[in-house]
Structure 1
Amino acid sequence: MFQKQIIMRKVMYSLIPIFILSVYLYGLKALELIAVSFLFGIGTESIFLKKKNKKVSEAVLVTCALYAMSMSPGTPLWIAAIGITFGVSMGKMAYGGFGRNIFNPAITGRLFIYIAFPNMTNKWLIPGNFGMTDGIAGATPLEILRNEGIPKFTDLLLGTRPGSMGESSGILIIAAALYLLYTKTASWRSMGSTLVGYFLVQTLLFSFDLGANPLYGVFSGSLLFISVFMVTDPVSSPKKNGSLIAYGLLIGVSVALIRTFSLFPEGTSFAILLGNTFAPLMDEIIGKARVGEVKS
């Protein structure tokens, strides 16, 4: 049924603990959003490939998984369906399918509904107890930081705080990063440079009382999640080692600047699409000086 892709399968393995946590935190709501994301994501790609008589790629499973984990647990199912359909069709298949897309399709879909339905995609729920605790959660850690407060660091590590379904547990995301690096599935260059770029600029801003505490900023919002799973996407990121570092730095710096100076409390999606835009140019410029370099 699916075109076998070992790298994508390893990414799915790394996401299993995060999936389990999301179900514990939000119960049926998480399961419904996951099901809708996979159903419409796989369905959209299969429609595009039907005339070509090709199998659906396992990469679409990763797209659906990352998209689902980036969802606010209170997002209406029909909006989630629109987002993943747009992401797969316009962010991937419109360019010719796997390996040809310029932009990360999961981020493309997430950002589309974030802009199109801003009041319906940021419904944060109280996490825990398999979603049995009813009610709308208070401020997310990023909103707390913006208001010069300090979120509980244990909540940031364990994931027991309001936010997107799979982006809340620092411990599980770090564990996934170690697995992906150990199996050489992801590049440490883009992953590390994203965090370094953010941390350096955010530290500078914080020293002038212009931004949030950089350490809390790394574990708040989706920065850690996108650094491990989105920035390291082998298709939409550069291919040269040097350009991978420049690519990560661009994204990390952009996140710090967007979070500090824009109206948006989070800037990761915008930063990734900005990085995707310049990825081919980075390979062109840096690649000329280092011909034959292979990404690891």
Structure 2
Amino acid sequence: MRKLIVSPSPHVHSGDSIEKNMYGVVIALLPALAASLWFFGLGALIVTLTSVAACLFFEFFIQKYFFKKPTSITDGSALITGLLLAFNLPSNMPVALIIIGAAVAIGIGKMTFGGLGNNPFNPALVGRVFLLIAFPVQMTSWPIPLEARTSYLDAVTGATPLSFMKEGLFTELPSYSQMLFGQMGGSAGEISAIALLLGLAFMLYRRIITWHIPVAVIGSIAVFTGALHLADPVLYATPLLHILTGGALLGAIFMATDYATSPMSVKGMWIYGIGIGLITVLIRVFGSYPEGMSFAILIMNAFTPLIDNYIKPKRFGEKPAVQQA
């Protein structure tokens, strides 16, 4: 008799496989990778290769020598974690700190909970937030795009648009076209909105993700920042500035949509995405950090089991409850 084997999420209910979807995400990340290499050159290459290699190594080492089970580094999940961690780092991040971040991302953010599908928090963001708290100076030194292409540790640094917005220096902000194509300060993978949107279009076309979470996150950011801007246009930036800067698009498209850490129901996705948008705006506008996307996603990751528990889709064939008189 064949036994029914129930495994942890993510579950795929089509002809696709986990590996196929994971490598589909990798393909979707390639435009952002190309943009980071164009604007930051050598530094982006070193950071990306180090992060990916370290994540693959730690997943292999922990599974083989701690868990004593076959390794799964070919399924693409560790590769995605390495790419997303690199995309959340400055292009002048020292190699030693990148390796520490990768160890935290894989060892604590993923393998501590049992590996793929069991982790409650996005592993790349766990590594990123750890580095931000432990090494704030290195994590907030942003190389200037194009000028940093041939430099690594000695790259010339400058402020990001979110830093200017935090200080109310709106006249110092780059143009919308510069923010759209990537000529602004920031982490390696977040600067080019066009590249990130191309990745979104590819994943929607391949049905790797649905549109609900990205639209909920970006839409809620637009609504909340739009209300603030209408209340005081001198003090608060426009919604488009908030959407095109920082990690808004990178987080909404590639990290908030992580299979294992996001809700399963459509209604749950809307609640989850709106929560991320609201927390991001609160931290950006009223908090001490210029950016709040990473913290917002991790906070809502923690609420995902609660959302899934209370918001469940109707079971197939389930009859509505009969009300008694």
Q: Would you say same fold, with TM above 0.5?
A: yes
Within the candidate set 71, 83, 103, 1:54 is matched to 71
| Contact 1:24 1:129 (8 Å CA) reproduced | no
Within the candidate set 222, 236, 257, 1:199 is matched to 222
2:142 pairs with 1:124 = yes
CA RMSD of aligned residues (A): 1.7
SS at match of 1:186: coil
For 1:181, the equivalent position in structure 2 comes to: 204
2:296 pairs with 1:236 = no
- Give, in whole Å, the separation in 2 of the partners of 1:63 and 1:17: 17
| Contact 2:50 2:98 (8 Å CA) reproduced | yes
Gaps of 5+ in 2: 1-16, 317-325
Within the candidate set 163, 167, 181, 1:147 is matched to 167
For 2:304, the equivalent position in structure 1 comes to: 279
| Contact 1:111 1:269 (8 Å CA) reproduced | yes
Instruction: Answer with 1 or 2: which has the greater Rg.
Output: 2
Instruction: Give 1:32 deviation, angstroms.
Output: 1.0
Instruction: Give 1:138 deviation, angstroms.
Output: 2.5
Instruction: Give 1:146 deviation, angstroms.
Output: 2.1
| TM-superposition CA deviations, 1:48-102 (whole Å, max 9, x none) | 2111123323111111111111111121111111011101110110000001100
Instruction: Give 1:211 deviation, angstroms.
Output: 3.1
Identical pairs, percent: 33
Bigger shift: residues 16-25 or 63-72: 16-25
| Contact 1:74 1:122 (8 Å CA) reproduced | no
| Contact 2:87 2:190 (8 Å CA) reproduced | yes
Within the candidate set 137, 157, 182, 1:159 is matched to 182
- Give, in whole Å, the separation in 2 of the partners of 1:28 and 1:137: 15
For 1:255, the equivalent position in structure 2 comes to: 280
Aligned length: 289
- Give, in whole Å, the separation in 1 of the partners of 2:156 and 2:206: 39
For 1:115, the equivalent position in structure 2 comes to: 133
For 2:314, the equivalent position in structure 1 comes to: 290
| Contact 2:159 2:185 (8 Å CA) reproduced | yes
For 1:136, the equivalent position in structure 2 comes to: 156
| Contact 2:47 2:92 (8 Å CA) reproduced | no
Name the TM-score, length of structure 2 as normaliser: 0.85
Name the TM-score, length of structure 1 as normaliser: 0.93
Instruction: Give 1:129 deviation, angstroms.
Output: 6.2
Instruction: Give 1:239 deviation, angstroms.
Output: 1.0
| Contact 1:194 1:251 (8 Å CA) reproduced | yes
Instruction: Give 1:143 deviation, angstroms.
Output: 1.3
Letter in 2 for 1:124: W
Instruction: Give 1:291 deviation, angstroms.
Output: 3.7
Within the candidate set 72, 76, 100, 1:82 is matched to 100
SS at match of 2:224: helix
Instruction: Give 1:198 deviation, angstroms.
Output: 1.1
| TM-superposition CA deviations, 1:195-247 (whole Å, max 9, x none) | 11111111112222253221111001010111110011111111111101110
